[in-house]
Amino acid sequence: MLLEAENLRIAYRDIEAVHGASFHVEEGELVSIIGANGAGKTTILNALMGMTPVKEGAVRYRGLDITGLPSHKRAGMGIRIVPEGARVFPQLTVLENIMTGLYRLRKVTDVPSRLSWIYELFPVLDERSRQLAQTLSGGEQQQLAIARALVSKPRLLLVDEVSMGLMPILVEKVFEVLRYLNREEDLTILLVEQNALASLAISNRAYVLETGVITLEGEAQTLKSDPGVRKAYLGA
């Protein structure tokens, strides 16, 4: 098992946002956590990345307990996150943004090879490599955020609300990329999303998170057909 979260309780001061969530991700899977805005999805990803402390419970990665490890240690172990809303560095160029993903890893990375692969995946970033990130469109910034996370060749990619603020055609493009990375590049992905239809369509399995509690789990296609899920998240 690549990633396992056991009975996670996560709080902001006195307010508990996640109430005993347990889930896992096997090597090679694409797993979604779906839920409404405010359900606690981003909180969970931030905890997995070490950016938000865990009140109770444990996070294990490749069998090792990493609950107390800082973010940079987790990154060094092969975990990367694509944060909500892209969050690129606006005053840096596209190339400089990508290179920040290699912090402390340049000496052990074949940089030309990785950049070539990134530019093949996202041609627009090659075309605009010298432009400031703030000049990119929202969809291009989202591609840049994914590229920054991928350049270090992670084993586990955490993806937070990748569809937020994007036009439908760009949402389709980004989800195609995630599907390709999982199916063709064998990258393990944990995706949290409000866009349940798009995320379930590319996932192996999924969890439903409601106000900090996982209420359903199962094969993605099974959940896609579940009457409760369809009514709450798929508009059917």
Determine contact, residues 189/30, Cβ cutoff 8 Å: yes
Domains: count for the chain: 1
Identify whether 133 is part of a domain.
Answer: no
| Residue 110 lies inside a defined structural domain of this protein | no
Residue 99 placed within a domain: no
Count CA within 13 A, CB hemisphere, residue 189: 30
Residue 98 lies in a domain: no
* 112, part of any domain: no
pLDDT in tens, 63-84: 999 999 999 999 999 999 999 8
Answer yes or no: is 124 within a domain.
Answer: no
b/e per residue, 120-139, with b = 16+ CB within 10 A? Answer: ebbeebeebbeebbeebeeb
pLDDT at 107: 62
**For residue 33, what are its two tokens?**
């956590």
Nearest by Cα to 23 from 5, 48, 46: 5
Q: Tell the residue number behind the tokens 């109770």, with chain if given.
A: 56
204-232 pLDDT per residue, tens: 999 999 999 999 999 999 998 888 888 77
Is 207 within the bounds of a domain? yes
Pairing of strands 205-210, 213-219: antiparallel
Instruction: Dump pLDDT digits (tens) for 152-206.
Output: 999 999 999 998 888 888 889 999 999 999 999 999 999 999 889 899 999 999 9
Domain that residue 8 falls in = 3-85+155-233
Q: Specify the pTM.
A: 0.94
Inter-residue contact 187 to 220 (CB < 8 Å): no
Inter-residue long-range contacts of 83-88, CB under 8 Å, 24+ positions, other chains counted: 83/145, 83/160, 84/42, 84/160, 84/161, 84/164, 85/161, 85/164, 85/165, 86/138, 86/141, 86/142, 86/144, 86/145, 87/145, 88/133, 88/136, 88/141, 88/144, 88/145, 88/148
CATH code of residue 171: 3.40.50.300
Is the pLDDT at 85 greater than 60? The verdict is yes
